[in-house]
Structure 1
Amino acid sequence: MTEQIATLGQLLDGAGTNWRVFDIGRHITKLDKKQFLAIEQAQIPYPFPLAGHAWLAIQFWDRKASSEPYVWFLKFPVDEQSKLVCASRDHFANMVIEALGNDLTGAHADGKLDNNPYVFTPNANKLAAFNALLKVLLKQPASQYYEYTQLYFSGKLGFENWQSVAIQGIADFALRLNDGKNQAALQQAWEHLPADVLQPLSAMLEHVEIPPAFSEQLLSYAQHAIAQKDTLALCCALRAMSKAQAQTLTAQLVDSILQSDISTESDVLLTIAGRCFNLLTDAERLHIFMDNCAHHQEIAELFPSIFADLVAIPSVRPHLLGLLRKENRSETLARAIGRLFS
């Protein structure tokens, strides 16, 4: 690494680009530049690690040109305190400088980093959601699939005729929920949507701060799903509400789930841990949640895998470590915790 360049931010600034960075491991979340600098300098832990890595999307474009922005999808390992392993970042920066020099946006840049070990391709849902978000941020038109998707959610095509609805169209629709009549149409359509549409749709809505009126409808829908023991419908509603403006309603749903007959279902527990982790900073809710994980009997590795996932999240970590010292635990939870260290 050159002495002049100590961070990716400096690399991008030095190349004359404007840039912004997002976490895309969990929700797609924009990271503040000051926060990202502190992460790069290992002053603070990475806020949303997943599977031992920071999963980043860095969008950048030449300040002097009006060309389309470039995007790097990068994953870097984090240490046991969830701080960035700076040697990996340095290695990546060296490879960039070697491959591209100081011209990160030139015509020769395409494909030069394809075999870079830190570059990854997000799954289809995440990629579609990110593409949809960028078009909104850049004030560009949605994809060619958007209008057809709007027509589908209006009910005019018949909700059973979903086969021609593109994933990118669903992403554009979800990320433009505030446009025109999109939200009203979706609220009317929701209970009629087949699982083949609900699943990718909820995977897009988990990146959207949906408004309270929609959350209220989904809460009612989800409570009915709990009563019917319909885990698929419940998980879709939970994902759609996970980044909602009204987090009190999402918390209400999680608390209802944790007291229900399906409180130990693996899909439900994994959805809460993966999407609603911010609600597990409440020590009592976390205790109940981990107790439910301990009582799950079908997948032996469920409890240790959820524990490992949550203990890496800086906002949850102290509460989870506090649970290790708590005395009024059930015998099942105490045994499950004991097995972590045996």
Structure 2
Amino acid sequence: MNKIESLSDLFNMVGCQVTYYDLGRCINRITPQQAIQFDRKQQAYPYPFRQHAWLACLLRNTQGERQEQNTEAVIWFLKLPLDEAGALNLGTRDHFIKSIVDKILHKGQEEGLSEALEDSPYAFKPDQERMASFHAILAKDLHQDTSRYFADVIQYLRGDIDSHSDSWQSLGLQGIAELAVRVDQPEEHQLALKALAKAPAPFVSALCHALEHQALPNEIRDSLLAKLGEEQDPMLRASYVRALSKGEFVEQLLLPLFGLLGDLSQCNDDDIHLIAALAAKCPHWIALNPQLLRIIMEKLAHRQDAFIAFKQITAEFSQHPETKQPLWQLLRSERISSQLAQAVGHLFAQTPKSVQ
């Protein structure tokens, strides 16, 4: 057996072609060049999230006549830790590779691959929304047909939408995700705009969560920006931010965000929804806007929860390469409030498990 020194070597050994997707902050297809670079630790992992690489590996058999059969495609969901530089931790990667090779040696290639991730500490299961979006993106990339759920969503949106009706409850998340990946198409574009304007809040929220993985057409982006400044529901505000999050920060975001974040000396449960969306999905915005970062950290420091949320968001920002330096510049500044300075002093206390 040839020496296996990377994930690519492993997949070559078993005769599989691999396509990588990142499922961390949002879903991104990883280019072959990026895959080579992070796999061999030539570059940092391109999409770090909570100090891990969240990978979906699409494996297709390249041996013999089976290579064209869709049934041979397998998807592995891998969660691999990153080191302090944001590169793959080679020790854990090699431990994962060894576990796969051992299963193949003991059970044979077909059975070993089919059982590869059973009881593996490196496997993870995406949540229902993320899984629907990934399958929608994958089907589009592979030029596969839409699901039956897509037709149901299109039929619903073509009709008269009543924001108070519960008819949306029969629709599947898969159909909404398939609408989101097609917002660059004329009919789907108009139906998505109609949904944002008229559909019940749960449908709008689900659509926004699917849109966070897409590059948005300008008209849909502008519709979301307008709704962000008008919305009273804190959960929907966070959903609009998520839908906009893959794009670059635009000036039209400043006033709505500053207005919604409001008083620096207060941070209630409604504020947390928006702050959590910004921290999890929009570090690239925050890295470019020191004032936005300061408002978030001041509000969290003033929250009456023994600095629980402050510690969690600080950990989130300190683990991201774009926000790490701006965060510590802020926290070391002499021009922060006494309350924020007090919160900084509690950073090394034990971090609780959840935001209260």
The answer to whether the superposition gives a TM-score over 0.5 is yes
Q: By how many angstroms is 1:308 displaced?
A: 0.5
Q: State the match for 2:228 in structure 1.
A: 222
Q: Is the 8 A contact 1:258 1:288 kept in 2?
A: no
CA offsets, 1:87-106, max 9 Å, x none? 111111112122236x9984
Change (3 A) 1:36 1:300: same
Q: State the match for 1:288 in structure 2.
A: 295
The 2-side partners of 1:220 and 1:89 are apart by: 45
Equivalent runs, 1:1-342 vs 2, <5 Å? 4-63=3-62, 65-68=67-70, 69-100=73-104, 106=110, 109-156=113-160, 158=162, 160=165, 161-225=167-231, 228=232, 230-244=233-247, 247-248=249-250, 251-252=253-254, 255-257=257-259, 260=262, 264=267, 265-284=271-290, 285-298=292-305, 300-341=307-348
What is the SS of the residue equivalent to 1:117?
A: coil
Amino acid paired to 1:109: L
Q: State the match for 2:354 in structure 1.
A: none
The percent identity for this pair of structures is 29
Q: Is the 8 A contact 1:258 1:292 kept in 2?
A: no
Q: By how many angstroms is 1:336 displaced?
A: 1.4
Q: Is the 8 A contact 2:147 2:174 kept in 1?
A: yes
Q: Is the 8 A contact 2:100 2:112 kept in 1?
A: no
Q: By how many angstroms is 1:258 displaced?
A: 6.0
Q: Which has the higher contact order (CA 8 A, sep 6+)?
A: 1
The 1-side partners of 2:112 and 2:24 are apart by: 29
CA offsets, 1:185-222, max 9 Å, x none? 12122132222212222221111111111111111111
The 2-side partners of 1:57 and 1:105 are apart by: 20
The 2-side partners of 1:79 and 1:145 are apart by: 41
Amino acid paired to 2:327: L
Q: Is the 8 A contact 1:25 1:54 kept in 2?
A: yes
Amino acid paired to 2:236: A
The 1-side partners of 2:199 and 2:307 are apart by: 34
Change (3 A) 1:107 1:98: closer
The 2-side partners of 1:155 and 1:13 are apart by: 50
CA offsets, 1:68-100, max 9 Å, x none? 232110011223443322111111111212223
CA offsets, 1:169-200, max 9 Å, x none? 11111112223411111212213222221222
Amino acid paired to 1:241: L
What is the SS of the residue equivalent to 1:181?
A: helix
Q: Is the 8 A contact 1:231 1:268 kept in 2?
A: yes
Change (3 A) 1:105 1:292: farther
The 1-side partners of 2:131 and 2:227 are apart by: 28
Change (3 A) 1:191 1:296: farther
**Root mean square deviation of aligned Cα:** 2.7
CA offsets, 1:145-170, max 9 Å, x none? 11111112223465521111011111
Q: By how many angstroms is 1:39 displaced?
A: 2.6
Comparing 4-13 with 292-301, greater Cα deviation is found at: 292-301
Amino acid paired to 1:234: R
Comparing 160-169 with 55-64, greater Cα deviation is found at: 55-64
The 2-side partners of 1:298 and 1:192 are apart by: 37
The 2-side partners of 1:3 and 1:16 are apart by: 13
Q: Is the 8 A contact 1:277 1:310 kept in 2?
A: yes
Give the unaligned 5+ runs of structure 2: 350-356
Q: By how many angstroms is 1:129 displaced?
A: 0.5
What is the SS of the residue equivalent to 1:247?
A: coil
Q: By how many angstroms is 1:275 displaced?
A: 1.0
Q: Is the 8 A contact 2:150 2:179 kept in 1?
A: yes
